[in-house]
Amino acid sequence: MIKGETESNDSQVDKQDNRDKTLELTASGTELSADWKRAIALVWSGQAISLVTSGAAGWAVIWYLTVMTSSPMVLALASIAYFVPVALLGPLAGALVDRHNRKHIMIAADLGIAVVTVAMALVIIAGLINVPLMLVMLALRSVGTTFHQPAMQAAMPLMVPERHLVRIGSLDQGIMGLSNMAAPAIGVFFYETMGLQFAMFADAAGALVACVALVLTTIPDVHLTKARQTGILREMGDGLRAIRSCTGMGTFFVLVTLCVIAFMPMASFFPLMTYQHFGGDGYAAAIVEAVFSAGFVAGSGVLLVWGGGRRLVPLIVASVAACGAITAVCGLLPVDWYWGFVALSGLMAVTGAFFNSPLLTVIQKNIPPEQLGRVMAVFGALTSFAGPVGLVIGGPFAEAVGVPMLFIASGIGMVAVAVASLFFPQIHRLDKSSAAEKKLVRASTGAQDGSVGGDSITD
């Protein structure tokens, strides 16, 4: 009897060892679902539709403000109205994302955006539209994005293996780029033919489609159990503590924030550059945006096939330097070089594609999944705070010396950030670790199955 029991136990151990050897983990160190590709396809199908309608509505609003005011300061205020809620509410959003089901938060955020967008449409129909009210509506709409974005970014590493994380990020970029190619033309078409209110209704419909796709998708739920919840205020600060505990991550965040300060004014004044400097109309501005998006898709496609390699930080630094150089050249173009501006915009976007996806992957690989919502919210708050800072500087600067000079200054600023990063070797250590490896280390030292650092996981 004892011998038989021993042989049976040995057989079970061997079977468990074989399962462990063949088990594939997500980037966060959790068990990978067998149908993870289907889940990604479903989620991003809904997101793609929502991105097109949202981009069209946003472009219609920006073009309305451009035509009605022709003011860099008004466009700066529109961007500030979008970024301030993210900066102020980001830490709270991150804490709530790590406390609750991330899929449910994304659905609630999309529904909130749909409600605000419908309200914007009704205000337009009632003839009450004006610039201050439009800025308020943009700020309210941004609140939904504040909760949706960190939830989405924290969910991705729970759904895909680490070896595909850059590729999935590139797919994300590619879908966004494709939607942005169509969105400006659609937005201008809505604005010119059917009115701004139609763009708002279309945006609300797209948000509802995204909600349906999320409802039909299973996303692993990783969140803080009630026993580990330390209070919402303390948990809001946990994101900063997690960043400080990861060697090089704090410096990385500072450099990215400086890059956003340099980049954001130029990015916000693209339509004004076309309208004022080159004398283009709405469709000319839409062509610039479409070519920029095409460049973004092309760069994302390269990353999707290539995967980015193992060393992502040097790739990020190089992309910042290249983007800065191209931006400065754009500011030097004469007024009859519109098509040169179009071409350089596409090239600028190619370099930007090698920044965004690797940047998020570096963070996702190094931060444990139970802390990722808070860390991504801190990241979103920092970059969103940096946006208004850059615009507060860039708006008056552009009013005083012109939009082309702003492009030159933004380009020089980005190149300076890239050069400065060479003096901080600790950020390159971020390429040498991952959250999945840290989870395996915790498991080998006695962590319980079915938990990540003591947090609840529910499929």
Domains of the chain as residue ranges with CATH: 34-222+239-435 (1.20.1250.20)
Residues 6 or more apart whose Cβ sits within 8 Å of residue 251: 424, 426, 427
Listed range (253-267, 323-337, 413-427) with the worst mean pLDDT:
253-267
Residue 58 or residue 453, greater confidence: 58
Query: In the block, which residue shows the tokens 């959790």?
Result: 30
Taking the C-alpha atoms of residue 102 and residue 337, their distance in angstroms, rounded to an integer, is 47
Average pLDDT of the residues in 330-357 = 88
Q: What number of other Cβ atoms are within 10 A of residue 397's Cβ? A: 19
Average pLDDT of the residues in 277-292 = 80
> Which token pair is 340?
């040169």
Structure confidence at residue 150 (pLDDT): 76
Q: Examine the pLDDT at 415 and tell me if it is beyond 90.
A: yes
Picking from 408, 388, 389, the residue whose alpha carbon sits closest to that of residue 398 is: 408
Picking from 55, 54, 62, the residue whose alpha carbon sits closest to that of residue 269 is: 62
**Element housing 457 (H / E):** strand 455-458
Structure confidence at residue 99 (pLDDT): 74
Residue 268: pLDDT band (50, 70, 90) is: confident
Q: Examine the pLDDT at 144 and tell me if it is beyond 50.
A: yes
Q: Examine the pLDDT at 370 and tell me if it is beyond 60.
A: yes
Q: Examine the pLDDT at 65 and tell me if it is beyond 70.
A: yes
Listed range (83-92, 273-282, 358-367, 407-416) with the worst mean pLDDT:
83-92
- End-to-end CA gap in the chain: 39
What strands, in cross-sheet order, belong to the sheet with 451-452?
Answer: 221-223, 455-458, 451-452
Q: Examine the pLDDT at 322 and tell me if it is beyond 90.
A: yes
Average pLDDT of the residues in 79-85 = 76
Structure confidence at residue 176 (pLDDT): 66
Residue 321: pLDDT band (50, 70, 90) is: very high
Residues 6 or more apart whose Cβ sits within 8 Å of residue 378: 90, 91, 94, 239, 240, 243, 253
Q: Among the ranges 64-78, 189-203, 406-420, which has the highest mean pLDDT value? A: 406-420
Average pLDDT of the residues in 138-157 = 80
Structure confidence at residue 324 (pLDDT): 93
- Which DSSP state fits 30? S
Average pLDDT of the residues in 442-450 = 44
- Beta strand 451-452 with 221-223 is unpaired
> Which token pair is 329?
């050249």
Residue 332: pLDDT band (50, 70, 90) is: very high
Question: Is residue 357 within 8 Å of residue 170, measured between CB atoms?
Answer: yes
The chain-wide mean pLDDT, for the chain, equals 76
Residue 434: pLDDT band (50, 70, 90) is: low
Listed range (13-17, 151-155, 414-418) with the worst mean pLDDT:
13-17
Residue 89 or residue 16, greater confidence: 89
Residue 66 or residue 405, greater confidence: 405
Residue 235: pLDDT band (50, 70, 90) is: low
Structure confidence at residue 225 (pLDDT): 47
> Which token pair is 303?
């990353």
Query: In the block, which residue shows the tokens 């803080």?
Result: 224
Query: In the block, which residue shows the tokens 């702003």?
Result: 406
**Element housing 377 (H / E):** helix 369-401
Average pLDDT of the residues in 155-159 = 75
Query: In the block, which residue shows the tokens 């390159």?
Result: 428
Structure confidence at residue 374 (pLDDT): 72
CA angle 41, 46, 50 (to 5 degrees): 140
Listed range (243-252, 274-283, 432-441) with the worst mean pLDDT:
432-441
State whether the Cα torsion 216-218-222-224 is positive or negative: positive
Structure confidence at residue 453 (pLDDT): 38
Q: Among the ranges 173-182, 387-396, 397-406, which has the highest mean pLDDT value? A: 397-406
Average pLDDT of the residues in 253-257 = 88
Average pLDDT of the residues in 431-457 = 47
Residue 131: pLDDT band (50, 70, 90) is: confident
Structure confidence at residue 250 (pLDDT): 86
Question: Is residue 295 within 8 Å of residue 313, measured between CB atoms?
Answer: no
Residue 18: pLDDT band (50, 70, 90) is: very low
